[in-house]
Chain A
Amino acid sequence: MNKYRPEISQKEFEEIENYLLDTLSLAQRVDFEKRMKSDSVLREEVVLQQKLMTAVELGSFKKDTKESKPPRSKTIKIYAKKVWLVAAVFVAAVLFSFIGYLFLRDTNSSGTDLYEAYFYEDPGLAVVMSSTDDYEFYDGMVSYKEGNYEEAITVWSNLSTSRVESDTLRYYQGVALMNLGKMEESATFLDLVVGDNESGFQAKASWYRALIHLRKDEIDLAIGLLENLLPEPRAEELLKELRKSP
């Protein structure tokens, strides 16, 4: 018979979790550790909960390493079951941006206004790779997803100077730079993908490249790229707005 209760209360669970995840204030932590010293049951519960959290980490990592698909082709594949999620986030982002734009716009929208209204950050890929190069790319993707774009770019820059040259890499280098506001450098990477007819990222790269043109008020160049994306709804919508602009 083991020494643990079958369950603990949600309050007790959350208190231990906060301690283990280091989200307690200094005073709360000191108090919690004082209680642990005198309460052996609490100490055992902390150890058990730590083990359960470790079980999640190990189970998740095992799942990732077994289910992962390396980018052997030019384009990294997004997990099929996550496609709907990416699509939903994408649609929501565009819709939200557009509602914001409608709310804020004035009658003489400039390219910059439209850029602000339609720009949203690419959420990144939920992928894990298996070879050494893949792991370096993945390491950068973790930073990207954390919003640490500079670190992601550093990791990916080292990768590109060694062996990996892929449209995926170029695309994410481009959008990471764009998220940092480095439009010129971003355009250099995105142009490579826009010009690659075999890339699965060509449409997304064209969209972001068009937004960079908008930001610089190069309306005709933006229109040219957006027309290639038709009948994609967001491109159609943005084109309508651009054609309304004086």
Chain B
Amino acid sequence: MKLPIDIRTENPERLLSKAYKDNFDWCKSYIRKNNGSDADAADNFQESISIAWLNLRSGKFQGDAGQFNAYIRQICRYKWINQLRSTASNRLVLQEDLSTFSELIESNSIEEDSNNSMRLQASFAGIGEKCRDLLSRFYFNKESLASIAQVMDTTEASMKTIKYRCMMRLRKAYLERLEDDE
């Protein structure tokens, strides 16, 4: 029996890179076969992996690495079919129907997840380069505060406070976007 992904112990950089490697070619091939371009595939895949990651992190998705790959692929297919269906000229070329997505995806929540993912990413993009760099190093690359402090020529204690301030900036940006959208 395969073990479920433990998000507390897995390195996010490694897990996301592996998910990208395992699934991008599949998603690209699927979209190409269904009237999409490489650019469509790149956009779709970025959104699909973001939604899957968000749901893994929140606990909405629970399963092993193989199931996570299947989940990403389902989202990729769902999003692409949904996009094609919204274009009248493409209705006749669909090879699948959205009704096939009952098992892993609650289809009515995918759009909501997609909006939330975009909101979070836009909030992160707006907090300034220094904060982005610091937070990426700490939460994504898993560098220690001591080593980040050394690189940024400051003390570990200062770095701790700066990290807190950056996270509060991200919080403010996210809450403002959330309020605007409600």
Residues in chain A within 8 A of chain B (CB atoms):
1-2, 4, 6-8, 10, 13-14, 20-22, 47-65, 85, 128, 132, 135-136, 138-139, 142, 146
User: Which of A2, A20, A50, A85 is the one whose CB lies under 8 Å from B175?
Assistant: A2
In the bound complex, how far is the Cα of B150 from the Cα of A144, in angstroms? 20
User: Which of A20, A56, A62, A142 is the one whose CB lies under 8 Å from B17?
Assistant: A142
In the bound complex, how far is the Cα of B18 from the Cα of A65, in angstroms? 12
Tell me, yes or no, whether B101 is within 8 Å of chain A by CB. Answer: no
Q: Could you say which residues of chain A place their CB within 8 Å of the CB of B160?
A: 14
In the bound complex, how far is the Cα of B140 from the Cα of A65, in angstroms? 14
Tell me the nearest residue of chain A to B161, going by C-beta: A10
The answer to whether A58 and B121 touch across the interface, beta carbons within 8 angstroms, is yes
Q: Could you say which residues of chain B place their CB within 8 Å of the CB of A142?
A: 11, 13-14, 17
Tell me, yes or no, whether B20 is within 8 Å of chain A by CB. Answer: yes
Total A-B residue pairs with C-beta atoms closer than 8 Å? 122
Residues in chain B within 8 A of chain A (CB atoms):
8-9, 11-14, 16-18, 20-21, 25, 46, 49-50, 53-54, 57-58, 116-117, 120-121, 123-125, 132, 135-136, 139-141, 151, 160-161, 164, 167-168, 170-172, 174-175, 178-179, 182
In the bound complex, how far is the Cα of B171 from the Cα of A10, in angstroms? 13
15 contacts between A and B (CB under 8 A): A1-B179, A7-B172, A20-B8, A21-B8, A22-B9, A49-B167, A55-B124, A56-B135, A58-B50, A58-B117, A59-B125, A61-B20, A139-B17, A142-B11, A146-B11
Top 5 A-B residue pairs of the complex, sorted by shortest distance between their CB atoms: A59-B124, A55-B120, A60-B140, A135-B21, A60-B136
The answer to whether A57 and B140 touch across the interface, beta carbons within 8 angstroms, is yes
In the bound complex, how far is the Cα of B139 from the Cα of A50, in angstroms? 11
Interface core residue of B135, B171, B179 (most chain A CB under 10 Å): B171
Q: A10-B161, A63-B136 are in contact. Are A57 and B58 (CB under 8 A)?
A: no
**Can you name 8 extra interface pairs (CB under 8 A) apart from A58-B124, A60-B141?**
A7-B172, A14-B160, A52-B170, A54-B57, A56-B139, A57-B12, A62-B121, A135-B17
Tell me the nearest residue of chain B to A1, going by C-beta: B179
User: Which of A7, A59, A128 is the one whose CB lies under 8 Å from B136?
Assistant: A59
Q: Could you say which residues of chain B place their CB within 8 Å of the CB of A50?
A: 57-58
The answer to whether A56 and B175 touch across the interface, beta carbons within 8 angstroms, is no
User: Which of B13, B46, B58 is the one whose CB lies under 8 Å from A51?
Assistant: B58
Q: Could you say which residues of chain B place their CB within 8 Å of the CB of A4?
A: 171, 175
Q: A52-B174, A56-B124, A132-B21 are in contact. Are A65 and B57 (CB under 8 A)?
A: no
In the bound complex, how far is the Cα of B54 from the Cα of A74, in angstroms? 36
Q: Could you say which residues of chain A place their CB within 8 Å of the CB of B135?
A: 56, 60
The answer to whether A138 and B17 touch across the interface, beta carbons within 8 angstroms, is yes
In the bound complex, how far is the Cα of B67 from the Cα of A138, in angstroms? 23
Q: Could you say which residues of chain B place their CB within 8 Å of the CB of A13?
A: 164, 167-168
Q: Could you say which residues of chain A place their CB within 8 Å of the CB of B16?
A: 57, 61
User: Which of A2, A8, A20, A85 is the one whose CB lies under 8 Å from B179?
Assistant: A2
User: Which of B18, B121, B182 is the one whose CB lies under 8 Å from A139?
Assistant: B18
